[in-house]
Every structure is written in structure tokens, then in C-alpha cells.
Amino acid sequence: MSCIFVGNGRARAGNSWCTWWQSPGGRMKNRHSARAHRQLVPTDARSAGVSGAFALQVITEGSAHSAEPSFPGENAVPLWIKRRVLLLNVTYEPLTALPARRAVVLMTCGKADTVHEDPQAPVVHSEQWSVQVPSVIRLRNYVRVPYRARVPMTRAALMHRDRFRCAYCGAKAETVDHVVPRSRGGEHSWENCVACCAPCNHRKADKLLSELGWTLRASLVPPSGPHWRLLASTKDLHPSWMPYLGEGAA
């Protein structure tokens, strides 16, 4: 367990650490770690001065003693900071995948509630509160999302649309192929791109399907729905997110 005292906009954990922190090398190497811890503190607490300082303790995954204050030569960024948390609108519409530290801030500020807890998740706490990092949270107030008629096509979203299967043979897909090759005027779009296994991609090369006698296993249509915005930008999906992401995540 590590203990970082936060107050007056600065993080400190003992005189020796603070002395080293003031050196140029210390500031550069630990800027990300200090910023991550400062974001855990509500704005009113940070602006309260030294009198508003409190101890922030982080229990990381795997070991309660694996996150120590950053000293020279050490990389002690807590593992839980790398976690992602699914953020839902008040209507349970998926919005985005937040960094865990941002999710904790929303919960401690009373702007979001836990929807799904992960028993294996780490615990973040201070003298005033204790929060287990959730896997899914929901906003208390509705947030209007700008309407986008077309979901942006990314490799991740395309793989989800085609269920990670080759559009030609049904094997496990590893690459993306253009049905009409780019060298023949094919576009990089939902209607012309498919998930494809490496052997089929190599055999097809720059040929047309009619030249090979091949057919597609399914029609190529752009996906629709709010969850596809998330699928288009997120590679790693937590199993607890699936009920909120629709059929595309299955």
C-alpha cells in the first residue's frame, strides 16, 4: 500500500522524496504519476490549501504493497491507473471507456454511480472515502451526445462487425482486405472492407472476386447504434461491458 499526501495542488510522500522531486530529473520522470494522483482529489479539496490535505492510499492489483512512492530509478505508477471503466449515460447508453482515475473522481464527486462491481478490482481510499474501482458506471444526469449519422470505420469496429471471421472462408480473421482493391479504385469504407484471414488475403492479392470465383459470406453494411462508437475506438473490452454494447460486441 502506498500513501501519497495530497494538498495545495502537490503530492508528497516524505522529505527525501520531496527533495528529489524538486530536481529537474525527478520532475520529468514522475510528472505522469503525480498528475494521476492529483486528479483523484476533488477540486474543492485541492483549492483548500494545506489545511485541506489528506492521505490518498492506493491498493493495486495483485499485491497490496506493489505501489510505492516514486523514487529515482523506479517506475511505481499504480496498475489500477491503466484500467478502463465503461461510462453509461443515464439512459444506459454507452458513452465511452474512461480511465479508472477519472471514473473514481466522478463517483466521489457524486456525478456517477456504480453499475457493475469487479470483486478483483483494486480499492482506492483516503481518510474521507473508500472506493473500489468499478468496471461500469452510470451518470446521474443525462448528457446529450451529438448525433453522428455514420460510425467511423476502424480496424477494431470492422473486426467486431464481421465477428472476427474471414469474409471469404470463415476462418479466424487476422487482417483487413478491400473487396475491390485500392489499385483498382476501391474505397476504404464499410461497403468495401472485410475482415480476412492471412491465407485468403495473400491469395486474393489485387484480384476481383469474379476473377477468383469467390463470394462473400455476408452483405457489407455499415453498423449503426450508439455502442458502435465505443467499439470503433476501444480494443480491449471487459466481459462485464458486453450486456451494454449490443450484438456487435458478442
Q: What's domain 155-212's architecture?
A: Orthogonal Bundle (1.10)
Give the pLDDT of residue 117: 82
pTM: 0.49
Contacts of 113 (CB under 8 A, 6+ apart): 107, 137, 138, 140
- 177 vs 23, which has greater pLDDT? 177
- 195 vs 5, which has greater pLDDT? 195
pLDDT digits (tens, 9 = 90+) for 204-225: 999 999 999 999 999 998 887 7
Give the pLDDT of residue 248: 44
> How do the domains of the chain map onto residue ranges?
2-80, 83-139, 155-212
pLDDT digits (tens, 9 = 90+) for 106-139: 988 889 999 988 777 778 877 777 888 888 999 9
Contacts of 193 (CB under 8 A, 6+ apart): 153, 158, 176, 177, 178, 179, 220
Q: How confident is the model at residue 37 (pLDDT cuts 50, 70, 90)?
A: very low
Mean pLDDT rounded to a whole number for the chain: 72
